[in-house]
């Protein structure tokens, strides 16, 4: 067994995207010695890819915008399944978080009179997305990194060590949350004591001891074949929480963004930002028809234009016209594109056409959408100022995630564990509005950092000890791929890349944008088979930068999370937001107040279950907390009738 280095910190933040960095800044500012650990290079987190902007009701572009309108839009977008208190905190606090970024050095695009410019996005009643061209995530990460460096410089002045209170461990992967399971005054404590991790470059294992851990690891997209997500989105934080005993909430809700590239095959799935539609781009089928007018659902009928003329007038005069249907929430647009392609009205490579070339001058396209212009020019040899793009749905975001307390971001059931950003569930209900993720990262990253620091401070003199047996078990688990296929194994070693491809194909085909009961059952059988085979995922060579080994370890997480998605999707017999059942095509009011929670079937951490009917995951239902009356009063009764069950309305 290798020697495992140990270090002591107050708070460990897993993930250096927007949520992780905002949490780390807050924890350090509140006096906690804070370590940030990330799988990729520092600054290369997924957040950097965010394009369109940060949603915040700053009322710069339309004076009628308020946090209440933002709250309403978010609840509508999530089809009222949102953890409403999170949606409230998010809408109230987002403007302050954007301002704060400017005080730390961010520079957003401006209106003519010098205010932060805000652009339109799907589902937002007013122009609300603060942006930096179509490279907003880059500015956000750059600013947070700069703030971290500034804090490290302060620490150097005081202690002579830049990393005395805030240290980043880059290219390191956490594989287990460690817990103190000893009893505390008679009752089992079962609280966080640190994390087990490996350095990707050297392969060395190490432990960061800490009473509080914030998970900010992002999403799960790499379990699907066509995705806008980058390599690091393997659902690690979701799986780490499950393995530590925290439930995952509503994992059936996976967002398929309507517009990903469909051609050439090597770039299939790469995102085409919603700003293209927000700035005037329109969707057409192979017959040249602007088809979205045929797909406005009943619940949104009053808010969207019925003719092209009205839709086009809206861009100039939004107060007297209704929005174009291209700006419906993402789930609606993705389903419409899917239906057009299925009906044989798709583009040559299986998508539809998204056109800005006939909508604005070439110079404006290049200025407002510089990344999109280069993306299509360089990757597909398409000049978007002169011709239409071909686009189709791509797996983009997971609304499901770790069940957290709305105010503190504490993960349910595991003292000392916190979660923020895409890995946390609840905030977006069944469907996220564009721009609401970057604001979510800042609002709840800050809250998670604050509460983690407070919790750690309270345990300063009785820090939970690290259990050597757990460290030994985590080391053995991580080393297993090197001995796959050894004598006594049930079969030959399996190639982790083959397993990953089969998993992605199964999730894409069987638990994708349109779901059917029989296919999801098939998916669960396939996942059970893959799980057995993944137990034999084998690699050659050594531990120094070995990507096959890294993938073999990530497979455990993707399989756990995929089973959560498939099992919950099978259970929810309705269509709502990011979950569409062909066999249950309508939203059912009886499901409005039902949360589905996933926990490990064997809480002792056994991952060997092979019975597909049982699998590794146990599913339970819970009733959501009633929405606070003053928040309900923000909606017209006629609208609530469409979503809420009879008894909820009565109450």
- Which residues of the shown chain bind ligand FAD in the complex (CB under 6 A)? 14-20, 37-40, 45-47, 49-53, 136-137, 173-174, 216-218, 228-229, 232, 236, 271, 397, 421-423, 434-438, 441
Q: According to DSSP H, which parts of 350-493 are helical?
A: 362-368, 370-380, 436-458, 468-479
Nearer to ligand FAD, 50 or 570 (CB): 50
Nearer to ligand FAD, 58 or 305 (CB): 58
Nearer to ligand FAD, 23 or 506 (CB): 23
8 A C-beta contact, residue 586 and residue 575: yes
What distance in Å separates the CA atoms of residue 601 and residue 606, rounded to the nearest whole number? 8
**Beta carbon of residue 635, minimum distance to ligand FAD (angstroms, whole number):** 24
User: DSSP letter string over 578-605?
Assistant: TB-BTTB-S--GGGTTEEEEEEESSTT-
CB count in 10 Å sphere of residue 458: 11
Spell out where 305-377 has E strands.
352-355
Mark whether 257 is an active-site residue: yes
Tokens 């539809």 sit on residue: 352
Mark whether 70 is an active-site residue: no
**Beta carbon of residue 237, minimum distance to ligand FAD (angstroms, whole number):** 6
**Beta carbon of residue 329, minimum distance to ligand FAD (angstroms, whole number):** 14
What distance in Å separates the CA atoms of residue 492 and residue 651, rounded to the nearest whole number? 60
| Adjacent-strand bridge partners of 411 | 404
What distance in Å separates the CA atoms of residue 515 and residue 316, rounded to the nearest whole number? 39
Please give the radius of gyration of the chain, using alpha carbons only, rounded to the nearest integer.
24
**Beta carbon of residue 435, minimum distance to ligand FAD (angstroms, whole number):** 5
Q: According to DSSP H, which parts of 191-279 are helical?
A: 236-244, 275-278
124, 131, 257, 396: the active-site residue:
257
The closest of 443, 457, 581, 558 to 511, measured between CA atoms, is 581
Nearer to ligand FAD, 282 or 553 (CB): 553
What distance in Å separates the CA atoms of residue 593 and residue 624, rounded to the nearest whole number? 5
Residue nearest ligand FAD by beta-carbon distance:
17
| Adjacent-strand bridge partners of 584 | 581
97, 176, 191, 277: the active-site residue:
277
**Beta carbon of residue 261, minimum distance to ligand FAD (angstroms, whole number):** 11
CA 408 to chain centre: 19
Nearer to ligand FAD, 14 or 411 (CB): 14
Nearer to ligand FAD, 46 or 225 (CB): 46
| Adjacent-strand bridge partners of 12 | 35, 213
**Beta carbon of residue 55, minimum distance to ligand FAD (angstroms, whole number):** 7
Residues with catalytic roles: 257, 277
């Amino acid at each position: 067994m290798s020697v495992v280095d140990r270090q002591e910190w107050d708070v460990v933040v897993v993930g250096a995207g927007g949520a992780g960095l905002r949490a780390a800044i807050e924890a350090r500012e509140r006096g906690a010695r804070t370590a940030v650990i990330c799988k990729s290079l520092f600054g290369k987190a997924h957040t950097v890819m965010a394009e369109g902007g940060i949603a915040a009701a700053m009322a710069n572009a339309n004076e009628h915008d308020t946090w209440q309108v933002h709250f309403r839009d978010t609840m509508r977008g999530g089809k009222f399944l949102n953890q409403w208190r999170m949606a409230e905190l998010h809408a109230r606090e987002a403007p302050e978080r954007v301002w704060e970024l400017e005080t730390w050095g961010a520079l957003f695009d401006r209106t003519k009179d010098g205010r932060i410019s805000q652009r339109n996005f799907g589902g937002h009643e007013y122009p609300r997305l603060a942006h930096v061209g179509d490279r907003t995530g880059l500015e956000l990460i750059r600013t947070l990194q700069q703030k971290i460096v500034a804090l490290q410089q302060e620490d150097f002045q005081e202690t002579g060590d830049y990393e005395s209170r805030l240290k980043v461990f880059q290219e390191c992967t956490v594989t287990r949350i460690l817990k103190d399971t000893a009893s505390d005054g008679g009752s089992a404590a079962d609280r966080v004591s640190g994390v087990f991790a490996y350095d990707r470059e050297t392969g060395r294992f190490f432990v960061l001891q800490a009473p509080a851990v914030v998970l900010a690891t992002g999403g799960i997209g790499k379990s699907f074949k066509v995705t806008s997500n980058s390599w690091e989105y393997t659902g690690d934080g979701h799986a780490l929480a499950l393995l530590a005993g925290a439930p995952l909430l509503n994992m059936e809700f996976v967002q398929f963004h309507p517009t990903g590239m469909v051609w050439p095959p090597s770039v299939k799935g790469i995102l085409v930002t919603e700003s293209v539609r927000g700035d005037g781009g329109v969707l057409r089928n192979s017959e040249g028809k602007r088809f979205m007018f045929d797909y406005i659902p009943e619940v949104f009928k009053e808010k969207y234009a019925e003719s092209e003329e009205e839709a086009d007038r809206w861009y100039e005069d939004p107060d007297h016209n209704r929005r174009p249907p291209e700006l419906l929430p993402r789930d609606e647009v993705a389903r419409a594109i899917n239906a057009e392609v299925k009906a044989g009205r798709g583009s040559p490579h299986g998508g539809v056409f998204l056109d800005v070339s006939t909508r604005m001058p070439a110079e404006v396209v290049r200025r407002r959408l510089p990344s999109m212009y280069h993306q299509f020019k360089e990757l597909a040899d398409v000049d978007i100022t002169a011709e239409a793009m071909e686009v189709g749905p791509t797996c983009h975001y997971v609304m499901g995630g770790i069940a957290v307390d709305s105010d503190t971001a504490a993960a349910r059931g595991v003292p000392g564990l916190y979660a923020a950003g895409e890995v946390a569930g609840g905030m977006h209900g069944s469907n996220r509005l564009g721009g609401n993720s970057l604001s979510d990262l800042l609002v709840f990253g800050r809250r998670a950092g604050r509460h983690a620091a407070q919790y750690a401070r309270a345990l300063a003199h009785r820090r939970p000890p690290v259990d050597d047996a757990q460290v030994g078990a985590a080391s053995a688990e991580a080393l297993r791929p090197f001995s796959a296929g050894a004598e006594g194994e049930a079969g030959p070693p399996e190639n982790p890349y083959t397993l990953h491809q089969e998993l992605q194909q199964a999730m894409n085909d069987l638990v994708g944008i349109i779901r059917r009961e029989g296919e999801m059952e098939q998916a669960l059988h396939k996942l059970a088979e893959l799980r057995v085979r993944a137990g034999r995922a084998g690699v050659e060579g050594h531990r120094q930068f070995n990507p096959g080994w890294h993938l073999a370890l990530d497979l455990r997480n993707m399989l756990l999370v995929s089973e959560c998605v498939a099992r919950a999707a099978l259970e929810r017999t309705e269509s709502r937001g990011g979950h569409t059942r062909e066999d249950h095509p309508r939203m059912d009011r009886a499901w409005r107040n039902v949360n589905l929670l996933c926990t490990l079937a064997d809480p002792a951490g056994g991952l060997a279950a092979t019975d597909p009917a049982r699998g590794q995951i146990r599913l339970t239902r819970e009733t959501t907390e009633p929405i606070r009356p003053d928040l309900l009063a923000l909606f017209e009764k006629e609208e609530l009738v469409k979503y809420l069950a009879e008894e909820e309305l009565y109450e």
